[in-house]
Amino acid sequence: ISIMATAEAKSRYNVSITTKEIIFREEVGSSPWTADSWKSKVAAQAVQYADIDGLRQTCSLLRELPPLVGDWEVDQLRERLYHAALGSGFIIQGGDCAESFADVKWDTVKRKVDLLYTQSRILEESLQVPTTAIGRIAGQFAKPRSNLLETLPTGEVVHAFRGHNVNSEDPSEREPDHRRLLLGYMYSAAAQSMLRRMPLPLTSHASDGKQVEFSLFTSHEALNLPYEASLTHNRYNLSASTIWLGERTRQLDGAHVEYARGLRNPVGVKIGPNATPEDVVALLNVLADRAAVGKVTLITRIGRGRAPTVLPPIIDAVRRSGHIPLWMSDPCHGNTFSTPSGIKTRRVQDMLAELQETYTVHQACGSFLGGVHIEQTGDNVTECLDETVMGDNDEYFGRRYQSLCDPRLSRDQAIWLIEQFSSFVRA
């Protein structure tokens, strides 16, 4: 499996190694890594379970359950991300902010897959490089929260909703329950089984011109470490093809970075507007060998208007470090705001602006934007704003605001965003 990137991209980056070499050159740093070495570090956003013995039993059960993805799928995705990091591929990653157990249904999942398929075809045609789709799907059940407690209208203070594998959005079921981790595994397995049985279309843009079937890789935030570690075997997290670390849990000396640094999976890291070039290079040094092109995906989510000032020093420092990460843009999480009546939303125009600015800044810096990461759903929800939304926004949000957490683009908005971005790139 010695896949070579395009000659142009490789000479640009002076890359002379094969994918096979990078896949087997792992562990950086001197201290030994195990799937449990994170336990000696501080885990931000850790869930406090009342029943510690029960949690231990649940983790033993999880360790005995079959993997949700094959290690060959993880390696295959590593190769796709390697190409995207070098500019000879592109990634569309998308799905719910928080998946719901109740949405693990054939039609709902099918609409999410169809959307990612449509977006990858649009991108492939305008960018003229093979485009790989990754769902925030089949396991995106754990959420970090800015406020870990919530005050109900009655004045009662309860745990915030932390995702379906921790507690329920129903205020009467907010106590973290370790058994939900098992349910999370089962719903992930059910979703994964649907993804594998779904009749998927053929796509024609394989690098050798042959027809290859559209395949969807899975991903989620590696937040709940007892769960992630229980599904880790021989350095592969087999709960998803790739995982990412959130903006709130990427502390250099924290448990999440410790967990991720030993994995063979490609690993994403969210990068917010306050990250310094030194922070980003330090993360790369811990998470990847310099030779491991595309092992780490830096997912910038900095908000509209900030790319021209925030990104160039980071891109420059990363280049000087010798690392070649895949650069992605998440135009969602830096553009969230609350309406006067307290509803969390985003404007699709702000998201397009951040994507365009990020793309342009990478070009100007001699770098590549290799992917986009979006919160979206295949359904016709009313959670984000666009130019067709007139007048009384509360009436609009009242129609179909169904998200358990952050606002998602509807199918039409998500396609509009990718079409606009694609024509911008083509122009």
Here the tokens at position 343 are 């509803």
Question: By CB under 6 A, is residue 333 in contact with ligand PEP?
Answer: yes
Burial class for 369, CB neighbours closer than 10 Å (0-12, 13-18, 19+): buried
Shortest CA distance to 119 belongs to which of 376, 400, 405? 376
Neighbouring CB atoms inside 10 A of 92's CB total: 27
Contact 211/202 with Cβ under 8 angstroms? yes
Q: Known binding site: residues?
A: 97, 136, 247-248, 270, 301, 333, 375, 406
Residue 334 contact among ligand PEP, Mn ion, none, beta carbon within 5 to 8 Å by kind? none
Q: Which of 124, 247, 354, 357 binds ligand PEP (CB under 6 A)?
A: 247
Here the tokens at position 239 are 């709960």
First to last CA, the chain: 36
Name the residue nearer to ligand PEP (CB basis): 130 or 144: 144
Q: Which of 87, 89, 130, 144 binds ligand PEP (CB under 6 A)?
A: 144
Question: By CB under 5 A, is residue 414 in contact with Mn ion?
Answer: no
Q: Which of 87, 89, 246, 262 binds ligand PEP (CB under 6 A)?
A: 246
Q: Count how many residues are written for the chain.
A: 427
> Exposure string (b/e) for 28-62, b if CB count within 10 Å is 16 or more?
beeeebebebbeebebebebebeeeeebeebbeeb
Site string for Mn ion, 379-408 (x = CB under 5 A): ---------------------------x--
Site string for Mn ion, 166-205 (x = CB under 5 A): ----------------------------------------
Measured in whole angstroms, how far is the alpha carbon of residue 327 from the centre of its chain?
12
Query: Least distance to Mn ion from the beta carbon of 136, Å?
Result: 9
Question: By CB under 5 A, is residue 330 in contact with Mn ion?
Answer: no
Question: By CB under 5 A, is residue 351 in contact with Mn ion?
Answer: no
Q: Which of 301, 304, 408, 411 binds ligand PEP (CB under 6 A)?
A: 301
Name the residue nearer to ligand PEP (CB basis): 118 or 335: 335
Please report which helix (H) or strand (E) contains residue 250, including its range: none
Q: Which residues bind ligand PEP (CB under 6 A)?
A: 97, 144, 246-248, 270, 301, 333, 406
